[in-house]
Each structure stands twice: as C-alpha cells, then as structure tokens.
Amino acid sequence: MYFYEGKELVVSDKELKDNALKVNYEFNEKHTPSFEIVGDKLLVKVNHGMSEEHYITAIVYKYENGYDVVRLNANDEPNWEFEYKGNGEIFEHCNLHGIFAIKM
Ligand SMILES: [Fe+2]
C-alpha cells in the first residue's frame, strides 16, 4: 500500500513496516476516520478542520484486492464516497499529525 502526501508518493509498505511513519489505530476524535456502508457506497468522514496550514491530505480505502486513494486540498471537505468493495481498512493522513486508521 502507498500513501500520498500532497502530490508526492511518500510512504511505501516498507516504510510503514519500518515505522518511518507510524499508523495510529488508537481512536482520536479529530483524526480517526468514521464510515458508513450505504448500499454499494462507503461513506467516509474525518472530523477535522481544513486550512492551508493544517489539513487532511488524503483518504485511503484499502480492501482485499487493492486500495483507492483520494488526495485532498485544503479547501476540500475531508469526506469521500467510495464504491464499497468489501471490508478492509480506512486511512487518512493529516499534514501535521500523521496517519490514522480504522479497521472495518
Ligand atoms: Fe491534524
């Protein structure tokens, strides 16, 4: 799995394993993604403000056979509607606080 920050590919599986950027699974009100499965859609929300200095750069939906990456800008809402492809994990990256994830 890869994670994008801005327009650059910054984290690979190996880097995650090596803890170059730790994935935080502990619940955090402002960072842990929440999700809802509605029919064939997966609705993901992050309860985080968005400003040029501090924002959610990406949301990643990882499922059994792959992953979908959505990159966000500071003026976007930190929400996304994915096509539901089975349970997996949802990750988000905050430019100041790192990666937070939840297992579905
Ligand atoms: Fe943050």
- Boundaries of domain holding 50: 3-103
pLDDT digits (tens, 9 = 90+) for 21-39: 678 899 999 999 999 999 9
Q: How far is the CA of 20 from the centre of ligand 1 (A)?
A: 18
Beta strands in the chain (DSSP E): 3-5, 8-11, 23-24, 34-38, 41-45, 56-63, 66-71, 79-83, 89-94, 98-103
Model pLDDT, residue 68: 84
Q: How far is the CA of 93 from the centre of ligand 1 (A)?
A: 8
Which CATH number goes with the domain that contains 9?
A: 2.60.40.730
Model pLDDT, residue 7: 41
Q: How far is the CA of 63 from the centre of ligand 1 (A)?
A: 24
Q: Band of the pLDDT at 14, cuts 50, 70, 90? A: low
pLDDT digits (tens, 9 = 90+) for 43-59: 999 999 999 999 998 89
Among 35, 83, 76, smallest CA distance to 57 is for: 76
Total number of domains in the chain: 1
The pTM of this model reads 0.82
Q: Which distant-in-sequence residues (6+ apart) come within 8 Å of 28 by Cβ?
A: 100
Neighbours of ion ligand 1 (CB under 5 A): 94, 96-97
Model pLDDT, residue 9: 41
Q: Which distant-in-sequence residues (6+ apart) come within 8 Å of 79 by Cβ?
A: 43, 44, 45, 46
